[in-house]
Structure 1
Amino acid sequence: MSESEAKAPQQQPFRHYWGDTPEEEDDYYAQHGIRGSTSFFKCPRGLSLFTRSWLPTADGPPPRGLIFMVHGYGNDVSWTFQMTPIFLAGKGFACFAFDLEGHGRSDGLRAFVPDVDAVVGDCLAFIGSIKQQYAQFQGLPCFLYGESMGGAICLLTHFADRLGFRGAVLVAPMCKISDKVRPRWPIPEILSVVARVLPTLPIVPTPDIMLKSVKVEEKKAVAVMNPMRYRGKPRLGTVLELLRVTGQLSQKLSDVSIPFIVLHGSADVITDPEVSRALYEEARSEDKTIKIYVGMMHSLLFGETDENIEIVRKDILSWLEDRCR
């Protein structure tokens, strides 16, 4: 229920740890005491969505909780994002995620998200399928986890199912697009007119989000290597939809009632840490925590130094463990 200010340690070297083949990836999972799997899930809309799971080993103690994870815009669940579920699975949590529509290996035009409400429906259907598939986990506490755009989707999922989750971990949530990357007037007004006719057109003039998200130069090189990463300019329809959703969310912060921890870097120029402060202050949740990390940027769990990542991980793990007791 308090706000902490964490100083950023010095930068350290980084390596790209997991392999490029399924065998190498399985070996990496085994080294961390977890098991992973992949599959495709057909959502009610008929889209084929690529999914991953990261579970504690079968011969160890049963999981302490289930975590349903949502990645951010332009990202996917098969590259740097999975560093976090690998860590959490190693600490006893069963983690599940899928590539959102238009991302990674899922169906859809690359980076085109015309209807976030439909994506929320995909999330609810996927969560329901996991609960059916893993009936042995019935009764375990369920949590939401979202990064950036994924944080906004988690809040919308909470609004759609207020009793389904023990809590939410919100990492730099996109409750509002920062004015530092938002196109200036009159560009949004012009683009909105063009989008009615050409919503998939990738012409929105914004800087590369990855370059403004990742602090450590070596990790920028790793992010660039991701073969699933979307490298084009944002599509008109996606940007207008995100502006719509974040505008609505910023007006509904007081409706948030789920227990949550929100984590944000003070140097984030993609999503606004002041909006996370507003979420903390306005939410009617009785159980709420905020962590603002001085000097950290948008990519808290990949783009920072290893020491900084460890700080954020420990805060998330401690919060989860406290709510599984």
Structure 2
Amino acid sequence: MAELDNEELRRLKDVNMDEAPARRHVRDCFKDIQHNLDHILIKTPGDGIKTKESYEVNSRGVEIFSKSWLPEASRPRALVCFCHGYGDTCTFFFEGIARRLALSGYGVFAMDYPGFGLSEGLHGYISSFDLLVEDVIEHFSNIKENSEFSSLPSFLFGQSMGGAVSLKIHFKQPNAWTGAFLVAPMCKIAEDMVPPPVLKHILIGLSSVLPKHKLVPQKDLTDAAFRDVTKRKLAPYNVICYCDKPRLRTAVEMLRTTQEIEQQLHKVCLPILILHGEADRMTDPSVSRELYEKAKSSDKKIVLYKDAFHSLLEGEPDEVILRVLSDIISWLDDHSFQVEGS
């Protein structure tokens, strides 16, 4: 089976996944293989959980893929709305995280951004970070307005670039969320992941002429993200992840957004939990410390994990993954009880 799987992965290199139909087809072909991988998240049981996958056209005319995980036997204690990282999807690894949260009593909702995962749009292309954030706000607002969930506490869950998305949502909706927890948030891209200044200025200039071109140099993100070598070998099975060189406009939008967020850390005012690996070489843990110090939230907490890399929930040894999940669920339990008892 392993040899067959590797052969299938090699064939993927010849598949053009620029558009959503191809990504959806590839995901369908690999579903069974993905479900049998030996990873603590993937092996999380789904018994007692209601899952639903949907495709809906949003107000901008973009078909968005979304997924939900709800406890089967009881009403959710709160809503958790997930914002995924750059290149990623709310399927594959995240499904195990969502099942853990649902088994702890939480309703989990997630979507793929336009251009990512199974949603429509050119793969890996962000024309405007602000538009992306508006798409996410629209999707989660529709869920929160549902009479079934409207009275429940609601939390943002941002991972990596999703941390930047979550903070931008908070800035636009300062009183709409019960709290947020951010895993390795992209408040600043680590210096050694950014091109040298001269090249950076050239690329910014080119982005207005060749916005969709893949010209931005990039190091191997898997090595930088996954500390556990065994888990690193499973990363390629996230077959609809965007792993090519960043497109010019995407890179510029991400850089602009992190610079903007870094200047607004003092505006963060909701209950917040920040989790970051001390050895993260992709997003700067020192800026997570700065977020913790500058946020005007009266209820804030930061947890730094010694020697841990960027992918705290996917690429660390099992005991670290379980500790991070436990830290998240304990924080959610505390804050959901506060709301329920208030």
Contact 1:143 1:168 (C-alpha < 8 Å) held by counterparts: yes
CA contact (8 A) 1:116 1:241 kept: yes
Deviations 1:246-295 (A, max 9, x none): 00000000011111000000000000000000000000011000000000
Counterpart of 1:20, as a letter, is K
Residue in structure 2 matched with residue 184 of structure 1 by the alignment: 196
Kindly provide the CA deviation profile for residues 174-209 of structure 1, in whole angstroms up to 9, marking residues without a partner as x.
001110211112110111111110011111111122
Partner of 2:113 in structure 1?
A: 100
**Does 1:70 find its partner at 2:91?**
no
Q: Report the Cα distance in structure 2 between the residues aligned to 1:302 and 1:136, rounded to whole angstroms.
A: 32
Contact 2:44 2:96 in 1 (8 A): no
Matching residue's letter, 1:170: L
On the 8 A contact 1:80/1:223 being kept in 2, the answer is no
Identity %: 40
Is the 1:75–1:81 contact (alpha carbons within 8 Å) kept by the matching residues of 2?
Answer: no
Instruction: Tell me the CA shift for residue 100 of structure 1.
Output: 0.8
Counterpart in the other structure of 1:20: 31
**In the alignment, is residue 282 of structure 1 matched against residue 297 of structure 2?**
no
- Unpaired runs of 5+ residues, structure 1, are 1-18
In structure 1, the partner of 2:241 is 229
Amino acid in structure 1 at the alignment position of 2:274? V
1:220 aligns with 2:220: no
1:21-68, CA deviations, whole angstroms, 9 ceiling, x for partnerless residues? 59x79xx886442121100122221111110001111xx221110011
Backbone CA RMSD of aligned residues:
1.8
The answer as to whether partners of 2:155 and 2:177 remain within 8 angstroms in 1 is: yes
Name the residue aligned to 1:45.
60
Of the candidates 301, 305, 324, which is equivalent to residue 293 of structure 1? 305
For residue 223 of structure 1, what is the amino acid of its counterpart? Answer: A
Whether the 8 Å CA contact 1:29–1:36 is kept in 2: the answer is no
Aligned CA distance change for structure 1 residues 30 and 268 (closer, same or farther; 3 Å) = closer
Q: Secondary structure at the match of 1:186?
A: helix
In the other structure, the counterpart of 1:13 is none
TM-score, normalised to structure 1's length? 0.89
Question: How many angstroms apart in 2 are the aligned matches of 1:90 and 1:84?
Answer: 10
Residue 129 of structure 2 aligns with an amino acid whose one-letter code is V
Aligned counterpart, 2:135:
122
CA shift, 1:101, in A, is 1.3
For residues 1-325 of structure 1, the aligned pairs below 5 Å read 20-21=31-32, 31-57=46-72, 60-133=73-146, 135-325=147-337
Q: Deviations over 1:125-174 (max 9, x none)?
A: 101221244x2222110000010000000000011111111000100000
TM-score (normalizing by structure 2): 0.85
Which is bigger in relative contact order (C-alpha 8 A, separation at least 6)?
A: 1
8 A Cα contact 1:32 1:86, kept in partner? no
Q: Give the letter aligned to residue 65 of structure 2.
A: F
Structure with the largest fraction of helix: 2
2:171 & 2:122 partners in 1: Cα distance? Answer: 27
Letter in 1 for 2:31: D
- Structure 1 letter corresponding to 2:208: R
Q: Could you tell me how far apart the structure 1 residues matched to 2:127 and 2:222 are?
A: 22
| SS of alignment partner, residue 273 of structure 2 | strand
Q: Give unpaired runs (5+ residues) of structure 2.
A: 1-29, 37-42, 338-342
Distance in 1, Cα, partners of 2:119 & 2:44? 23
User: Is the 1:29–1:35 Cα contact (8 Å) retained in structure 2?
Assistant: no
Q: Work out the CA distance in 1 between the residues paired with 2:135 and 2:88.
A: 17
Distance 2:276 2:324 in 1: 10
Q: Secondary structure at the residue paired with 2:115? A: coil
Q: Secondary structure at the match of 2:336?
A: coil
The SS at the match of 1:136 is coil
Whole-angstrom distance in 2 between the partners of 1:127 and 1:288 = 23
| Partners of 2:223 and 2:151 in 1: CA distance | 42
The CA distance in 2 between the partners of 1:132 and 1:141, in whole Å, is: 12
Report the count of equivalent residues: 302
